[in-house]
Amino acid sequence: MTGGRVAGKAALITGAAGGLGQAMARMLVREGAKVALSDLDLNGARALAEAINVDHPGMAFAYEHDVTREDDWVRVVDAAVQDMGGLSILVNNAGIGGQLLWAEQDTLENWRKVQAINLESVMLGCKHAMAPLRASGAGSIVNISSIAGLAAAPGMGAYNATKAAVWLYTKTVALECAKAGWNVRANSVHPVFIKTPILDPFVAMAGGDEANAHEKLARGIPLKRIGEPDDVAYCVLYLASDESKFVTGAEFKIDGGLTAQ
């Protein structure tokens, strides 16, 4: 493939086996990039890579990846660079919602699990992918935060805290890269409710009625609907491409107007 908005680029996407990660992977490949799909669910990542390679042979690679482990990050980054011939895009997408618990009910186990997956993994990714991103000559880091990192909600303390930290940490990385003279940009993406498995706890609270749960979640959104995975993937595509070459340290809200109220 020679054309496309990210033609010739190589991306590592964490949490790529489903949901947002899958949508991002498919879109980046359609626009010309090779993709390294990492996930704790190796079978899911392999299935996606195989499906992509049917129409785009040799463009997708799959890796088992525990994003909370530093040795796994070293192994996966090295393998991705070798398999794709370099690395120019890092999408830190892996994340969990955690349990819906108020501060008095929260547990240290829940808090630490959410911190490790949602926040520590972002630090490890930025740390270990930085060298190949610099070597690419035009690197882009896209950290998936959340509207919950900009606006709090009861029962979401651990999730709110991690996503807010990802937001500010991204700015720090962006400034460090700029100060060092490296052509590596870092930006954060902040979706609101998107139709992915992360909404399962809300569906469970609605008695398993997905349509009813989605309708309730959409009531507070000015556009009166929740988002689709491609709504986020299009933003990632822009940030991964050279179209955003003068954009760094910024946050992008994919929220149907929620935070404009």
Torsional class of 32: left (φ above 0), alpha (ψ -120 to 50), beta (otherwise): left
Query: Coil, strand, or helix at residue 174?
Result: helix
Residue with tokens 């556009």: 223
Burial class (CB in 10 A: 0-12, 13-18, 19+), 249: middle
Whether residue 184 contacts residue 134, with contact meaning beta carbons closer than 8 Å, is answered with: yes
| Size of the chain in residues | 261
- Among 63, 159, 169, 238, the active-site one is 159
Active-site residue flag, 63: no
User: Which is it for strands 60-64 and 34-39: parallel, antiparallel or unpaired?
Assistant: parallel
Residue with tokens 């979640």: 217
Contacts of 64 (CB under 8 A, 6+ apart): 38, 39, 40, 42, 45
Return the closest-CA partner of residue 256 out of 167, 214, 194, 188. 194
Instruction: Provide the β-strand partners of residue 39.
Output: 64
Closest by Cα among 261, 191, 200 to 228: 191
Beta bridge partners of 139: 184
Active site residues: 159
